[in-house]
């Protein structure tokens, strides 16, 4: 159950004195120096692994049940793994680098009973307390006790707002057909009419998606570039208040998902769904007398051990899903196929290798008569564009245990996402006569739109009507691919102090091809670019009885790797090479347990996000001949948020948990569009760092902990988001309104 209330306000006249320039932004003029800096950072940290956090820690104390004295030298084992440790002289222990999931933890020592605690849930980046009290027994009498562990209701080391959904909760969550539907019920989130996710008043596209620690962000669309199946998930969480230095590339939040590990026994599940499209879906409310159409899906998951000759303790996990919806009306079809897998290999007790893969393919045709952008298809639905998408991810991680305190290894991954949209049967081969695009390039065209230099068949366009809108493309194709190498070192220096150091390097290839026809002066847009991205961080976690501190520092680097005109209105001047930019982000989170039932927390940090690549690379060839030209800007700075949060987590009773959070965000350097000149009577607009805003709000969550047959939560969110605009395109739309 979720109740949300949000108010959005816009201020048009705010003085320039409120705009923050600079502030932890480093502009480096020497590209060679930047590349050397990246190389040195990677070499210094080599060969320690990095992918964003997917593991947690367990820690606790072992005591004599009669005297309460600590028991030193007791052996703690994670059942089904080679992970083990011993308690110190104070009876305390810890085990780090445990993948998120459910475990059985056993303790044994001479003269005491052996206890095994089952159902111990480990969460990403957090510490799970597991304490034992042992009963003395006669030697050599052996006695073992099995205990069903229950996770403490208060997570004392959580220093920022984080909503966590584990696999067992996902099974009972309504609307779990997509990750976004799960996220949309969490505190501080809103999904707009375009199905875009907003977190705590931020713009769409300011949330980063991580899949088993690897980024699956589509830098064009600003959302996940691959479908994530709920049935494949071990844990999904949304961090919205402030995130540690290990995480970045987001102004508003981090969505982190971890898929399930393989099991030592064979397990499987298959689900079928067969139904009808609901008559109250989009576009259908006015057509209740039409026949129902098919809406069906099938999904499965299967896991178990791999043949032992491959390696000791090798396991696999596979999951797949197929969904087809014919739609209640014509031209509202959907078809999706998703497949994911994870394979674990353990050649030696100290070395673990994990191979990860995921594939997605989808095809949709969606017409919405409520959308003005679909106006030109009202009388020509057969020409409505079909959107085809595909994406895949594959990667390898390696972790080597230097000791029970330190972990090192490596990570590599490749990610690719592609989207194409065009009228049915008019994909790549149709545009064979476009100059510079295909075989003969003779420049001959037979379209019916004035000034049209591209092919446009008469049967795909309704006669006698010209729709003047730059943002209704007939043909669109884009893709993003990157290769990434990353490293991280994690060391539990002592029982109070955990240190993490990491770095990552990504080499992108992005492609954009779009032909916009339905306007009076159309133009095409096509480019391929190869930006470079790198990051490094250091993060320190101090865990004491009365307070926990998460402190860190993050460095982000981007080189757009392109030549452009500094003044697009003066193309007689020579082009210049884009300059690399980098930012430093301090982060601080503090948690203070004031009792066994209450924790207060505070979080503060700088958060940066590189601009959407559309804003950087659009129309860099200086084509100003279209009716309303829009130009990119490779010199854009990273957008910036300075965020503060104060929260209380309190157990009202043994079943009811209350969380109250107040927050404030100061947002600077947001992308805007502004006029830079006039050509042929039409304004020329360009993307710039000009917008700004602020957000303040409160989130209240009341949760009934899952005990017995009843669980659930009630969420109330109230926020005020104020700024000079709500979209990077607001300025451009204003110029259109004033020109046409």
Same domain, 15 and 61: no
Cα distance between residue 130 and residue 58, in whole Å: 7
220 in a structural domain: yes
Give the lowest-confidence range in 139-148, 476-485, 565-574.
139-148
Give the lowest-confidence range in 29-33, 51-55, 210-214.
29-33
State pLDDT tens for residues 353-374: 999 999 999 988 766 555 544 4
Residue that has been written with the tokens 């209350």 in this structure? 658
pLDDT for residue 278? 53
Same domain, 440 and 458: yes
Give mean pLDDT, residues 447-458: 35
Same domain, 40 and 68: no
378 in a structural domain: no
Dihedral angle sign, alpha carbons of residues 733, 695, 720, 649: positive
Domain-ending residue, one of 148, 170, 201: 148
**pTM of the full predicted structure?**
0.80
Same domain, 590 and 675: yes
Same domain, 588 and 455: yes
pLDDT at 216 over 90: yes
pLDDT for residue 536? 96
Same domain, 575 and 705: yes
Could you tell me which residues come within 8 angstroms of residue 37 by beta carbon, excluding any fewer than 6 positions away? 557
274 in a structural domain: no
Domain-ending residue, one of 91, 121, 148: 148
pLDDT band per the 50, 70, 90 thresholds, residue 329: low
Residue 633's nearest CA partner among 561, 688, 690 is 688
DSSP annotation string for 128-186: EE--EEE-B--TT---EEEEE----SS-TT--S-EEEEEHHHHTT-TTTTSHHHHHTTS
Same domain, 70 and 16: no
Q: What percent of the chain is predicted at pLDDT more than 90?
A: 40
347 in a structural domain: no
Residue 142: CATH number of its domain: 2.60.40.1120
495 in a structural domain: yes
pLDDT at 670 over 80: yes
pLDDT for residue 194? 75
For the chain, give the mean pLDDT.
79
Same domain, 669 and 536: yes
State pLDDT tens for residues 264-295: 889 999 988 776 655 545 444 444 455 555 67
276 in a structural domain: no
Same domain, 36 and 72: no
Identify the DSSP state of 283. Answer: T
Same domain, 90 and 233: no
pLDDT at 66 over 80: yes
Give mean pLDDT, residues 114-128: 89
State pLDDT tens for residues 610-652: 999 999 998 888 777 666 788 999 999 999 999 999 999 999 9
In which element (H, E) is residue 577 found? strand 576-577
pLDDT band per the 50, 70, 90 thresholds, residue 705: confident
Dihedral angle sign, alpha carbons of residues 237, 238, 244, 245: positive
The DSSP bridge partners found for residue 649 are 599, 659
Same domain, 100 and 229: no
CA–CA distances in Å: residue 348 to residues 115, 137, 317, 400: 27, 35, 21, 9
Identify the DSSP state of 224. Answer: B
Give mean pLDDT, residues 25-38: 43
CA–CA distances in Å: residue 347 to residues 303, 351, 354: 20, 6, 11
Domain-ending residue, one of 120, 148, 176: 148
Token pair of 602, please?
A: 């505070």
412 in a structural domain: no
pLDDT for residue 137? 82
State pLDDT tens for residues 228-252: 888 888 999 999 988 999 999 999 9
Domain that residue 73 falls in: 55-148
CA–CA distances in Å: residue 213 to residues 202, 228, 338, 341: 23, 13, 19, 15
pLDDT band per the 50, 70, 90 thresholds, residue 384: low
Residue that has been written with the tokens 């993060």 in this structure? 539
Q: How many domains does the chain have?
A: 2
Contact 216, 257 (CB under 8 A): no
pLDDT band per the 50, 70, 90 thresholds, residue 695: very high
369 in a structural domain: no
Same domain, 18 and 129: no
């Amino acid at each position: 159950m979720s109740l949300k209330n949000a108010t959005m306000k816009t201020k048009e006249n705010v003085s320039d004195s409120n705009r923050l320039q600079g502030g932890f932004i480093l502009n480096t003029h020497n590209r060679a120096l930047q590349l050397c800096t990246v190389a040195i950072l990677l070499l210094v940290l080599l060969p320690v692994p990095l992918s964003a956090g997917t593991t947690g820690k367990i820690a606790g104390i072992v005591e004599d049940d009669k005297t309460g004295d600590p028991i030193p030298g007791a052996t703690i084992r994670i059942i089904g793994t080679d992970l083990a440790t011993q308690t110190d002289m104070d009876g305390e222990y810890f085990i780090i680098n445990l993948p998120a999931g459910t475990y059985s933890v056993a303790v044994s020592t001479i003269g005491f009973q052996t206890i095994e605690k089952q159902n111990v849930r480990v969460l990403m980046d957090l510490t799970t307390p597991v304490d034992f009290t042992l009963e003395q027994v006669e030697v050599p009498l052996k006695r073992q006790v099995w205990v069903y562990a229950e996770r403490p209701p208060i997570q004392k080391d959580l220093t920022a707002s984080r909503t966590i959904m584990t696999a067992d909760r996902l099974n009972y969550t309504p609307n779990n057909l997509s990750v976004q539907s799960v996220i949309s019920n969490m505190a501080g989130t809103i999904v707009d009419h375009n199905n875009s996710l907003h977190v705590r008043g931020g713009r769409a596209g300011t949330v980063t998606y991580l899949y088993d620690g690897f980024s699956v962000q589509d830098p064009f669309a600003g959302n996940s570039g691959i479908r994530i199946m709920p049935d494949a998930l071990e844990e999904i969480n949304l961090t919205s208040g402030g995130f540690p230095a290990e995480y970045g590339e987001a102004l508003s939040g981090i969505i982190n998902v971890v898929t399930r590990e393989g099991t030592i026994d064979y397990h499987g599940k298959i689900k079928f769904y067969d139904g009808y499209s609901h008559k109250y879906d989009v576009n259908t409310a006015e057509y209740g007398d039409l026949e129902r159409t098919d809406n069906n899906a099938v999904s499965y998951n299967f896991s178990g051990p791999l043949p032992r000759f491959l390696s000791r303790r090798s396991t696999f996990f596979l999951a797949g899903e197929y969904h087809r919806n014919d739609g209640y009306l014509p031209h509202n079809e959907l078809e999706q196929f998703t497949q994911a897998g994870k394979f674990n290999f353990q050649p030696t007790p100290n070395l673990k290798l994990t191979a990860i893969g995921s594939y997605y393919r989808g095809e949709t045709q969606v017409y919405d008569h409520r959308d003005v952008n679909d106006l030109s298809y009202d009388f020509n639905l057969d020409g409505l564009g079909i959107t085809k998408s595909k994406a895949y991810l594959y990667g390898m991680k390696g972790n080597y245990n230097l000791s029970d305190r330190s972990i090192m290894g490596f990570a590599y991954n490749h990610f690719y996402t592609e989207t194409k949209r065009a009228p049915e049967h008019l994909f790549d081969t149709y545009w064979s006569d476009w100059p510079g695009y295909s075989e003969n390039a003779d420049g001959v065209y037979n379209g019916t739109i004035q000034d049209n230099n591209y092919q446009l068949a008469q049967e795909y366009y309704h006669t006698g009507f010209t729709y003047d809108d730059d943002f209704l493309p007939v043909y669109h194709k884009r893709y993003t691919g990157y290769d990434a190498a990353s490293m991280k070192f994690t060391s539990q220096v002592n029982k109070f102090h955990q240190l993490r150091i990491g770095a990552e390097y990504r080499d992108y290839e992005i492609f954009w091809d779009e032909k916009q026809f339905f306007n009076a002066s159309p133009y095409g847009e096509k480019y391929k670019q190869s930006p470079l991205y790198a990051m490094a961080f250091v993060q320190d976690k101090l865990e004491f009885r009365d307070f926990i501190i998460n402190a860190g520092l993050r460095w982000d680097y981007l080189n757009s790797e392109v030549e452009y005109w500094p003044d697009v209105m003066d193309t007689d001047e020579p082009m210049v090479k884009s300059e690399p930019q980098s930012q430093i982000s301090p982060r601080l989170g503090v948690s203070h347990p004031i009792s066994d039932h209450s924790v207060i927390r505070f979080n503060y940090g700088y958060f940066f996000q590189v601009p959407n690549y559309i804003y950087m690379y659009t129309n860099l060839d200086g084509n100003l001949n279209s009716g309303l030209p829009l130009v990119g800007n490779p010199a854009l700075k990273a957008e910036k948020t300075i965020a503060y949060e104060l929260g209380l987590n309190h157990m009202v009773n043994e079943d009811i948990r209350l969380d109250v959070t107040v927050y404030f965000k100061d947002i600077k350097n947001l992308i805007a569009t502004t006029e830079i000149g006039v050509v042929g009577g039409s304004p020329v607009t360009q993307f710039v760092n000009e917008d700004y805003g602020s957000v303040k709000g409160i989130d209240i969550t009341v949760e009934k902990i899952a005990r017995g047959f009843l669980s659930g939560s009630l969420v109330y969110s109230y926020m005020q988001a104020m700024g000079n605009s709500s979209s990077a395109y607001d300025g451009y739309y204003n110029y259109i309104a004033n020109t046409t």
